């Protein structure tokens, strides 16, 4: 409203001076300076958006947890061995899921104590997998957990970026609106005070938009760090999962492609 008071004062002085000419320069000084400031800020924001859009995204996963130890004494019977082998084959015939953990553990526990029904290679493969069973489960869980965290952080980052783009679009809209208001101001002198009032409101909203955009940019930069941390966790989990997958594949090869074997 300070501009309105100044404008009224200027009009009064002009009316008291018969040969005076109304000054548009004084009226337009602040808006011109502020629009230049806005243009500078949103030009930088647009460059930031373009650079970010050109970055390659990344994806993948990670997870951790679970332990089990059910040591039984004594050798299982031939029937128990066959049942355990069948159960193991059924587990190996599909991708590993947590709901098959207990069934797989029971089959492995039985087969590690089997004295007949397995080849030497099968016994070694089962023993090696069973000895690292807790690590396998832990790697799988860590993979799932960190993957979910990564996807959440990525989604949050993308939402913030979308908000920044919308703010930039609002800036372009405001810029066009200001140009229209400026033309109206130049053409209709008697409506100058009303137009200036509208301009003050627009600039106030624009300043608020700039503040929000700056805050969003700061949050986005912070989110990038969180995403990098999540991505590093995902990479480490992938390495661990790769080792476990190799063990899984080795065990699967022993039972899904059954070579002839002799009783141990």
More confident residue, 241 or 263: 241
Name which of 50-64, 159-173, 182-196 the model is least confident about: 50-64
Q: Assess whether 199 and 120 both reside in one domain.
A: no
Q: Assess whether 95 and 170 both reside in one domain.
A: no
Is residue 36 assigned to a domain? Answer: no
pLDDT at 61: 35
Q: Assess whether 238 and 159 both reside in one domain.
A: yes
pLDDT at 169: 92
Consecutive H or E run containing 118: none
CB atoms within 10 A of CB 79: 9
Is residue 227 assigned to a domain? Answer: yes
d(CA 99, CA 122): 24
Cα 156 from chain centroid (whole Å): 5
Region 208-224: mean pLDDT is 92
**Half-sphere exposure in the Cβ direction for 17 (13 Å, CA):** 11
Residue 19: pLDDT over 90: no
Distances (CA, A) of 76 to 82, 218, 230, 239, 255: 10, 64, 45, 36, 19
Q: Assess whether 99 and 168 both reside in one domain.
A: no
Is residue 8 assigned to a domain? Answer: no
Is residue 112 assigned to a domain? Answer: yes
d(CA 216, CA 163): 8
Q: How many structural domains are present in the chain?
A: 2
Q: Please spell the DSSP secondary structure of 52-69, one letter per residue.
A: HHHSPP-----B------
Give the percent of the chain with pLDDT over 90. 20
d(CA 2, CA 196): 10
More confident residue, 28 or 24: 28
pLDDT at 35: 75
Cα 183 from chain centroid (whole Å): 44
Q: Assess whether 223 and 160 both reside in one domain.
A: yes
Q: Assess whether 198 and 166 both reside in one domain.
A: yes
Residue 214: pLDDT over 90: yes
Report pLDDT digits (tens) over 69-112. 344 446 888 888 888 888 888 888 877 777 778 888 888 888 88
Is residue 126 assigned to a domain? Answer: yes
Region 56-72: mean pLDDT is 36
Helices (H), ranges, 75-132 = 78-92, 101-112, 120-131
Is residue 167 assigned to a domain? Answer: yes
Region 37-52: mean pLDDT is 82
Query: For residue 106, what are the domain limits?
Result: 78-131
Region 113-117: mean pLDDT is 82
Q: Assess whether 204 and 160 both reside in one domain.
A: yes
Residue 193: pLDDT over 90: no
**Are the beta carbons of 129 and 251 closer than 8 angstroms?**
yes
**How does the average pLDDT of the chain come out, rounded?**
77
d(CA 63, CA 25): 65
Is residue 254 assigned to a domain? Answer: no
Q: Assess whether 117 and 195 both reside in one domain.
A: no
Q: Assess whether 111 and 177 both reside in one domain.
A: no
Q: Which two tokens stand for residue 95?
A: 């991708």
Is residue 119 assigned to a domain? Answer: yes
d(CA 199, CA 181): 7
Report pLDDT digits (tens) over 142-157. 888 888 889 999 999 9
């Amino acid at each position: 409203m300070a501009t309105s008071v100044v404008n009224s004062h200027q009009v009064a002085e002009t009316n008291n001076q018969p040969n005076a000419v109304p000054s548009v320069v004084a009226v337009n000084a602040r808006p011109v300076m502020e629009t230049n400031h806005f243009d500078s800020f949103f030009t930088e924001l647009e460059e930031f958006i373009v650079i970010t859009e050109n970055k390659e995204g990344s994806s993948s996963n990670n997870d951790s947890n679970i332990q089990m130890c059910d040591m039984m004494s004594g050798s299982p019977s031939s029937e128990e061995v066959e049942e355990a082998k069948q159960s193991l084959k059924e587990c190996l015939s599909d991708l590993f899921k947590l709901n098959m953990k207990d069934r797989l553990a029971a089959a492995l526990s039985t087969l590690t104590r089997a004295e007949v029904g397995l080849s030497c290679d099968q016994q070694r493969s089962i023993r090696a997998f069973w000895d690292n069973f807790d690590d396998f489960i832990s790697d799988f869980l860590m993979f799932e957990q960190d993957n979910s965290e990564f996807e959440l952080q990525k989604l949050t980052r993308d939402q913030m970026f979308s908000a920044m783009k919308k703010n930039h679009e609002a800036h372009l809209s405001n810029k066009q609106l200001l140009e229209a208001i400026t033309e109206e101001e130049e053409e209709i002198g008697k409506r100058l005070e009303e137009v200036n009032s509208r301009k003050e409101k627009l600039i106030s909203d624009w300043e608020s938009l700039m503040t929000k955009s700056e805050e969003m940019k700061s949050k986005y930069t912070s989110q990038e760090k969180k995403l990098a941390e999540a991505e590093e966790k995902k990479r480490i989990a992938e390495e661990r999962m790769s080792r476990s997958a190799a063990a899984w594949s080795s065990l699967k090869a022993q039972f899904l492609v059954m070579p002839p074997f002799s009783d141990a």
